[in-house]
Chains A and B, each alone.
Chain A
Amino acid sequence: MSNYLSITQKETEEMFDAIGISKCADLYADIPLSIKNKPPFNIEKGKSHQQVMDEMAAYAEENTVFKTIMRGAGAYDHYIPSVVKYLSSRSEFLTAYTPYQAELSQGILQSIFEFQTMICSLTGMEVANASVYDGSSAAAEAAFMCVEKDRRVILVPSNVKPQVVQTINTYLRRRNITVKVLGEEEGFVKNGKVDIAALERALNDETACVYFEQPNYFGLIEDAEHICEAVHSKGCKVIMGCNPMTLALLKSPGECGADIAVGDAQPFGLNIAFGGPYLGFMATHTDKETMRRMPGRIVGETKDDKGRRCFVLTLQGREQHIRREKALSNICSNQAHCALVASMYLAAMGKQGLRDVALSCTSLAHYAAQEFTKKGKTTLKFNGEYFHEFVTVSPLKATKIVEKCAKMGILAGLPIGKNEILWCFTEKVRKEDIDRVAALFN
């Protein structure tokens, strides 16, 4: 019923005349008759805008929106400042394509340059790309960057986000690359963390790189500097997957010695939105070979012919539209608008605000852990330092706790075992809600 056309019957006929046809069907003369207009399309008739709003809202209402979310595991519910929502929805940003035409896209190009700069700041790296799809594809693309002719094994500890390993596997499986996931059985992961001695033993001259997460899936802070040192001592590369929110306080991948930093910047102003769109980021060093292998768009500063500062998509010689089958990645569209939101978020929170958020997350998490385990019936599964996620073990069944929390309007942590829950706390969680959940345990 509704459409987004802007044409009258009279204009349509004028256009028919200009082309020399009498009806729209004439436009499709090249399509063989045997396949044209064949099936009755089993799609409903069009509806009014109001009906569409009603119908779509009905889907939304079938979901439970929790007032309080204590679940993370790859999707983090943070406060999003109003200014970010308003500014980012300006249609010049939202309805533009990739900034191929620099002269009329300086605003977008500059915003990407600013994003790259902020990611470099957070990660302690020298170059960041304009984004990839999400944290998983970032990890997979980074792993591929590290592969050499005779180094084709990627080592991954089992304590990283399961979706990330699965995606790395999907990406690399058909390229004569082995992804080795090593866990507790191999002694590779001990007390929830990577064991450095076991890591050293696992590395050899076929290892291309190690991918690990900081904090890891269980929320624990790894001994990143020693991991990097150990990996480098065997001539391999190291990719550090980070929750970038933690980088407001914790040592950056650059400081730790990582070769490539990747992760998902969803925590920076993006809705959890049932899993997407999120924001894969990737940052590394600027040596020639590493830059050559980096996937995705990169914006660089240059000058116009009057000497004015301006920005362009650069180093395009790496990309599919120039190199075709010789390109190292196929990425074309990325998550540009999410990157815009993230940089607005970072500018809105600012240096101090981001620290406040991070401090709030980790303080609430440590408070919760203390309260949940107060009576000793529930314990933390691991005793290492953590940021804002941790795992509890309790005599109560995990699903029971989830049910009880749901009754209070709280999305509990993620059950990861019969009696184990992975919790996450952000600045949105109230102390009183933590106390109510603690009462279930004690």
Chain B
Amino acid sequence: MKLIFERSREGLRCATIRPLEVSPYEFEKSYVRKDLDLPEVAEVDLARHYTELSHNAFGVDSGFYPLGSCTMKYNPKLNEEIAALPGFAKVHPLQEPSTVQGNMHLMYDLAVSLMELTGMDGMTLQPCAGAHGEFTGLLLIAAYLEARDGKKCKRNKVLVPDTAHGTNPASAVMAGFEVINVKSNAEKGVDLDDLRAKVGPDTAALMLTNPTTLGLFEKNILEIEKIVHDAGGLLYYDGANLNAIMGVVRPGDMGFDVVHLNLHKTFSTPHGGGGPGSGPVGCKQQLVEFLPDPSIIADKKGRFHFVRPKHSIGKVSTFYGNFSVMVKALAYIKTLGRDGLKESAEHAVLNANYMKARLQDIYTAETNRLCMHEFVIDLQKLKNETGVSAKDVAKAMIDRGMHPPTMYFPHIPGVIDEALMIEPTETENKQTLDEAIAVLRELHDMAYSDPQYLKDAPHNMPISRPDEVLAARQPIVKYKA
């Protein structure tokens, strides 16, 4: 594929604006830059270019996308159209509040729905993604503990299970904490003995993903809650996996104090090739006064106001967060309603269990338990016997018109080294699941009959496997003519 710069030809124009209605202003020479290098193309060139790029991209609309932990469910078109309404898209963030009551009302209603779904007493919509939410939630915890225990507060450690997503420990460090890793037990949940040994007067919080990143509900959740709370620490819920349980059980009722959600996962907003997301953070009553600035409150007359919470941690982004994403999420919640949300969660779990049930005779998976919305297959045995790795199987799936599952996460060295994490989501139909099952079974056979074919996969894409070592060793990060 040509780069847009390679399509550029001097003097071509695409979009144009109205002629100047006033005289042109000329800056003094000292202010003015040298040449500016941008592409020059006609509109048809631009349309062809991006259409070609789109043909070399793969979205949920293109096919099965079982990317574990990412909840690649269908993104409703209705929500896109709603978010583009001028009343949402063409409104300035710093308009007088009396002229943006609709937006404030919408954000208020979304926050209330999310509080309801998570069992929380307060909610901020300001964080722009999951990791941003984690950081925000941990700052809330820090501010609360400092207020509770005074300046002498020594709670500077955050406990993180070894199965946690990489953002959890990274966020904890950004929020000024030290990370203590907690081991997993034989059931792939938190090892209670290890937790007891590590929790103490220096514990600020435990960060937990539940269902875990192995797609299993943490059975000991109530005991974990007791251990951490008894030690004076708080519980942080990574809501990446809420899709399994929304409408069924709430993090608040499991005893969590702070939770972040990913509207770009659970609430069907498109991921856009990497973003934008939205990572609202909910908290229990005692933390509400620390929420980011501003919060929205409603008065008795039904008017909405921006207020700075009494001991706010401050701002985490420029305005109020990724507003258009919020619009789409609320439209989704309204469409499904309380029963539809629960039904979606149930079907997400049903789909995952169906695939697991039909794969676990040949792929190593957790066989004596039902999974939640996703499951992990461990390809270590296959690799030992055939040399075919999780990556090889994933790449071969691409040839069959599917997006591969998440690879090598979770990764616990020596315990799970060859993970494929499969999350079908609720919006896939049975035919798609059956096809995927058939493909995975066939690739398993092929690993024994023709391993080299898998190691060379994909075969039918515009490129074969890229040389990542070369990319990192001699970085070329921009186009040079």
B282 at the interface (CB under 8 A from A): no
B377 at the interface (CB under 8 A from A): no
Q: How far is the CB of B7 from chain A (nearest CB, A)?
A: 9
Quick one: given A6-B429, A92-B58, are A52 and B468 in contact (CB under 8 Å)? Answer: no
Quick one: given A221-B31, A330-B170, are A352 and B40 in contact (CB under 8 Å)? Answer: yes
Q: How far is the CB of B254 from chain A (nearest CB, A)?
A: 6
Say whether B88 contacts A274, CB under 8 Å.
Answer: yes
Quick one: given A298-B477, A353-B16, are A274 and B70 in contact (CB under 8 Å)? Answer: no
In Å, the complex CA distance between A362 and B23 comes to 10
Inside 8 A of A271's CB, which chain B residues have their CB?
89-90, 324
Say whether A47 contacts B337, CB under 8 Å.
Answer: yes
Inside 8 A of A69's CB, which chain B residues have their CB?
92
In Å, the complex CA distance between A34 and B129 comes to 32
In Å, the complex CA distance between A47 and B5 comes to 47
Interface set, chain A 299-344, CB cutoff 8 A to B: 299-306, 308, 310-312, 314-317, 319-327, 329-338, 340, 343-344
Say whether A356 contacts B87, CB under 8 Å.
Answer: no
Say whether B131 contacts A333, CB under 8 Å.
Answer: yes
Say whether A321 contacts B409, CB under 8 Å.
Answer: yes
Say whether A75 contacts B15, CB under 8 Å.
Answer: no
Q: How far is the CB of B54 from chain A (nearest CB, A)?
A: 4
Cβ-neighbour of A11 out of B340, B430, B478 (below 8 A):
B430
Inside 8 A of A21's CB, which chain B residues have their CB?
353, 370
Inside 8 A of B221's CB, which chain A residues have their CB?
32
- The stretch of B134-142, B194-202, B228-236, B440-448 in contact with A is B134-142
Say whether A333 contacts B174, CB under 8 Å.
Answer: no
B305 at the interface (CB under 8 A from A): no
Interface set, chain B 33-61, CB cutoff 8 A to A: 33-34, 36-41, 43, 46-47, 49-61
Say whether A136 contacts B315, CB under 8 Å.
Answer: yes
In Å, the complex CA distance between A134 and B333 comes to 26
Cβ-neighbour of B54 out of A62, A92, A363, A411 (below 8 A):
A92
Inside 8 A of A391's CB, which chain B residues have their CB?
none
In Å, the complex CA distance between A137 and B13 comes to 34
A205 at the interface (CB under 8 A from B): no
Say whether B89 contacts A273, CB under 8 Å.
Answer: yes
Inside 8 A of B264's CB, which chain A residues have their CB?
333
Interface on chain B toward A: helix, strand, loop, or mixed SS? loop
A439 at the interface (CB under 8 A from B): no
Digit string of B123-163 for contact with A (CB within 8 Å is 1, else 0)?
00000111110110001001000000000000000001000
Cβ-neighbour of B40 out of A113, A315, A350 (below 8 A):
A350
| Residues of B within 8 A of A (CB-CB), count | 195
In Å, the complex CA distance between A431 and B18 comes to 12
Say whether A46 contacts B170, CB under 8 Å.
Answer: no
Inside 8 A of B465's CB, which chain A residues have their CB?
102-103, 304-305
Inside 8 A of A151's CB, which chain B residues have their CB?
none
Say whether B99 contacts A64, CB under 8 Å.
Answer: yes
Q: How far is the CB of B48 from chain A (nearest CB, A)?
A: 10
In Å, the complex CA distance between A372 and B263 comes to 45
Say whether A351 contacts B317, CB under 8 Å.
Answer: no
In Å, the complex CA distance between A24 and B344 comes to 11
Q: How far is the CB of B143 from chain A (nearest CB, A)?
A: 9
Inside 8 A of A303's CB, which chain B residues have their CB?
466-467, 470
B28 at the interface (CB under 8 A from A): yes
Inside 8 A of B171's CB, which chain A residues have their CB?
330
Digit string of A22-60 for contact with B (CB within 8 Å is 1, else 0)?
001011111110111111011111110101110111111
Residue of A nearest to B248 (CB): A28
- The stretch of A185-193, A250-258, A374-382 in contact with B is A250-258
Say whether B92 contacts A63, CB under 8 Å.
Answer: no
Q: How far is the CB of B308 from chain A (nearest CB, A)?
A: 10
Say whether A304 contacts B324, CB under 8 Å.
Answer: no
Residue of B nearest to A303 (CB): B467
Inside 8 A of A354's CB, which chain B residues have their CB?
36, 38
Q: How far is the CB of A196 from chain B (nearest CB, A)?
A: 15
Residue of A nearest to B106 (CB): A59
Say whether A37 contacts B271, CB under 8 Å.
Answer: no
Say whether A30 contacts B17, CB under 8 Å.
Answer: no
B273 at the interface (CB under 8 A from A): yes
A397 at the interface (CB under 8 A from B): no
Digit string of A80-108 for contact with B (CB within 8 Å is 1, else 0)?
01011001111111111111111111111
Q: How far is the CB of A405 from chain B (nearest CB, A)?
A: 11
Inside 8 A of B358's CB, which chain A residues have their CB?
18
Inside 8 A of B90's CB, which chain A residues have their CB?
65, 77, 271-273
Say whether A63 contacts B99, CB under 8 Å.
Answer: yes
Say whether B333 contacts A43, CB under 8 Å.
Answer: yes
Cβ-neighbour of B129 out of A75, A133, A174, A312 (below 8 A):
A133
Say whether A131 contacts B470, CB under 8 Å.
Answer: no
Quick one: given A1-B337, A314-B475, A324-B169, are A49 and B468 in contact (CB under 8 Å)? Answer: no
Residue of A nearest to B334 (CB): A52
Q: How far is the CB of A382 from chain B (nearest CB, A)?
A: 16
In Å, the complex CA distance between A222 and B404 comes to 50
A111 at the interface (CB under 8 A from B): yes
Say whether A101 contacts B478, CB under 8 Å.
Answer: no
Q: How far is the CB of B139 from chain A (nearest CB, A)?
A: 7
A407 at the interface (CB under 8 A from B): no
Cβ-neighbour of A272 out of B91, B102, B316 (below 8 A):
B91
Inside 8 A of A148's CB, which chain B residues have their CB?
none
B222 at the interface (CB under 8 A from A): yes
Interface set, chain B 338-357, CB cutoff 8 A to A: 338-341, 343-344, 346-347, 349-351, 353-354, 357
Inside 8 A of A367's CB, which chain B residues have their CB?
22-23, 25
Quick one: given A43-B337, A107-B56, A300-B476, are A101 and B403 in contact (CB under 8 Å)? Answer: yes
Inside 8 A of A323's CB, which chain B residues have their CB?
166, 170
Digit string of A408-423 for contact with B (CB within 8 Å is 1, else 0)?
0001001000000000
Q: How far is the CB of A243 from chain B (nearest CB, A)?
A: 13
Say whether A356 contacts B222, CB under 8 Å.
Answer: no
Inside 8 A of B142's CB, which chain A residues have their CB?
174
A110 at the interface (CB under 8 A from B): yes
Quick one: given A117-B478, A170-B316, are A320 and B344 in contact (CB under 8 Å)? Answer: no
In Å, the complex CA distance between A271 and B85 comes to 11
B64 at the interface (CB under 8 A from A): no
Say whether B343 contacts A427, CB under 8 Å.
Answer: no
Inside 8 A of A26's CB, which chain B residues have their CB?
370
Say whether A274 contacts B320, CB under 8 Å.
Answer: yes
Inside 8 A of A56's CB, which chain B residues have their CB?
82, 85, 106, 327, 330-331, 334
B217 at the interface (CB under 8 A from A): yes
Digit string of B307-327 for contact with A (CB within 8 Å is 1, else 0)?
000000111111111111101
Q: A31-B249, A38-B250, A250-B31 are in contact. List 17 more A-B contacts (CB 8 A).
A: A1-B337, A19-B353, A27-B350, A56-B334, A87-B50, A92-B62, A106-B462, A135-B318, A166-B293, A174-B176, A304-B467, A306-B464, A316-B472, A336-B276, A351-B37, A351-B38, A363-B24
Could you list 5 examples of A-B contacts with CB < 8 Å? Answer: A46-B335, A107-B1, A120-B478, A221-B31, A353-B15
A-B complex: 8 closest residue pairs judged by Cβ atoms = A60-B87, A275-B319, A337-B272, A62-B102, A46-B337, A336-B274, A174-B176, A95-B59
